[in-house]
Amino acid sequence: MHGARRQHGWTGIPGQKCTRTEESLAESSPPPDGKETGIELPADVARQWEMGKRRALIVGISDYEHLRSRKENRDGRDKAYDLEFAHRDAEAVAKLLETKLAYHSVQCLTNAHADDDAITLGLSNLLSEAGPLDSLFIFFSGHGFPEGRESYFMWEEFLKNFPNGKFAAQARESLAGAQQAARDWAERQAAVAEEKAFQKALKAARDAADPDEAVKPWDAFLKEFPAGKLAPDAKDSLAKARQAATDWHGAEYTQAMAEANQAKDAKDFRKASEAVAVALRHRPNDAAALALQKRLVPTLAVESTPAGPTVEIQNPKSKI
């Protein structure tokens, strides 16, 4: 969510809390449209829906600040414990409740504002404000850990507040599993990206206009994945592409030089010069091609000199 969101009745900035108040809604609302939402309420629940109010507390934590600095991550830049979508999930659920399900009150706490005090106060307000026919909805998205048959949600500064508490060991164990899961996920994502890039390079090499162009996709792939699992295959393909380019340049050079010498012997110096230019495109510093080009330059200059005007001399002895 970029910037403040007000059009739906709740406000918030990433890392802050967003609250929807009752003043923005009517006192009662009809049940949600079953065709649109896929939700069909029983008759008694539908009556309660219309007579009561709907209140929600939504919590989403992606940024676990207190987990940045740890033994294996002194500078804190590799935030392996952080999540990517937890706070976005919370914002999406809050929007769904207000736009599709007509909730009267939606409090959304994300990241740094989802601390122990804020969550406790949110739960307390949720219960204290609820009437006998009201519906309460609580949503948590973030890290958690089990303890026996119970499950616990980890707020933003859980381990900072209770580093040696009753649940600290379980929390750290859960985070270690989350870290490994994050690494496994990152490895899978990297493998997928590498495979896509490899297939893209393979297709580009096959569709290349000439052997020189077929080298470029493999160069680009190895710059992006120099130590990837497919790097050995890419290096092999690059070596083959370079050899194919070298052979192609050699064949084109040989043919162009043969055409140049044939044209020179036939006194077709312009064609010979054009063939030499082709040879030099394939071998720019070739001595034989440069020498032949040097010999052809004066000849071409003579050919290009315009002829003078024709002068007709009359025989003085002829009679007029």
Residue 244, number of CB atoms within 10 A of its CB: 16
pLDDT at 172: 65
pLDDT at 131: 79
Q: Which amino acid is at 88?
A: R
pLDDT at 125: 83
| Distance, CA of 238 to CA of 215 (rounded, Å) | 6
- The kind and range of the H/E element at 56 are strand 54-60
Helices marked H in 100-141 — which ranges? 116-128
**Residues listed for the chain:** 320
Beta-bridged to residue 146, according to DSSP, are 151
Query: Which residues in the chain land under pLDDT 70?
Result: 1-39, 65-81, 145-182, 185, 299-320
Residues 84, 90, 94: CA angle, nearest 5 degrees:
150
Cβ pair 92, 1 in contact under 8 A:
no
Cβ pair 140, 83 in contact under 8 A:
no
216: its two tokens? 């470029």
CATH of 188-304, one of 1.10.10, 1.10.287, 2.60.40, 1.25.40: 1.25.40
Structural domain spans, the chain: 17-161, 188-304
Whether this prediction's pTM lies above 0.85 is answered by no
